[in-house]
């Protein structure tokens, strides 16, 4: 396993449409190895999702773990297809490991179905709502060369990390003299993927 370098905005790989993984490769050790590296890299950067193009592999594969404290929320999606289950959308905060320390409000579908293959090459279908649905849509966009800023309808919400935590983070005001450790208390919108 290895911690991979995360591509930053401006790298062409983040703007390319990633390639389908061929059926005969779905059960290959190459895919399992890439998944292991994605998991390790996501964990290293305290992310809640990571797509293969973000680590310079232009293939249609992402992982999400909407609750970083709960490994059972880890999901591997190979050749994923996302289908909105209602028209309803919601705006909320997102961050991206490829746009470090920047947050913005992004509208996303609130309920989706994800059809994909897992790390063992088995097909599955699962429904997500709210934050998990948001993270899956963010990652699926990475496979099409789309970044969260492209989805924003109001660029005035863009904020750097310090300012975001000070003025916008959805949590109680920091205690006086609070240290950075309090970042742990920041809710879902403070995590990047």
Give the binding site for Zn ion (CB under 5 A). 96
- Name the active-site residue from 139, 163, 176, 188: 139
Residue closer to Zn ion, measured from CB, 145 or 174: 145
Q: Are 135 and 66 in contact (CB under 8 A)?
A: yes
Beta-bridged to residue 126, according to DSSP, are: 114
Closest approach of Zn ion to the CB of residue 14, in Å: 9
**Cα angle, residue 63 at apex, residues 59 and 113 outer, rounded to 5°:** 95
Task: In whole angstroms, give the CA distance from residue 45 to residue 91.
Answer: 25
Residue closer to Zn ion, measured from CB, 121 or 161: 161
Is 40 among the residues known to form the active site? no
Q: What are phi and psi of 38, to 5 degrees?
A: -60, -45
Residue closer to Zn ion, measured from CB, 4 or 96: 96
Q: Which residue is nearest to Zn ion (CB)?
A: 96
Closest approach of Zn ion to the CB of residue 47, in Å: 8
Residues annotated as part of the active site: 139
């Amino acid at each position: 396993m290895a911690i991979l370098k995360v591509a930053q905005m401006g790298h062409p790989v983040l703007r390319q449409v990633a390639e389908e993984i061929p059926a005969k490769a779905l059960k290959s050790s190459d895919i399992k190895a890439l998944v292991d590296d994605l998991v390790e890299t996501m964990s290293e950067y305290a992310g809640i999702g990571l797509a293969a193009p973000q680590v310079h592999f232009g293939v249609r594969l992402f992982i999400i773990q909407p609750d970083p404290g709960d490994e059972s929320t880890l999901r591997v999606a190979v050749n994923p297809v996302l289908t909105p289950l209602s028209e309803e959308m919601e705006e909320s905060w997102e961050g991206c490991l490829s746009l470090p320390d920047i947050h913005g409000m992004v509208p996303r579908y609130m309920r989706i179905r994800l059809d994909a293959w897992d790390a063992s090459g088995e097909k599955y279908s699962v429904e997500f709502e709210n934050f998990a649905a948001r993270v899956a849509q963010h990652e699926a966009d990475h496979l099409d060369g789309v970044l969260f800023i492209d989805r924003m309808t109001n660029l005035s919400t863009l904020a750097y990390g310090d300012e975001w935590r000070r003025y916008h983070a959805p949590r109680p005001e920091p205690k006086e003299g609070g240290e950075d450790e309090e970042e742990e208390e920041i809710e879902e919108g403070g995590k990047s993927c």
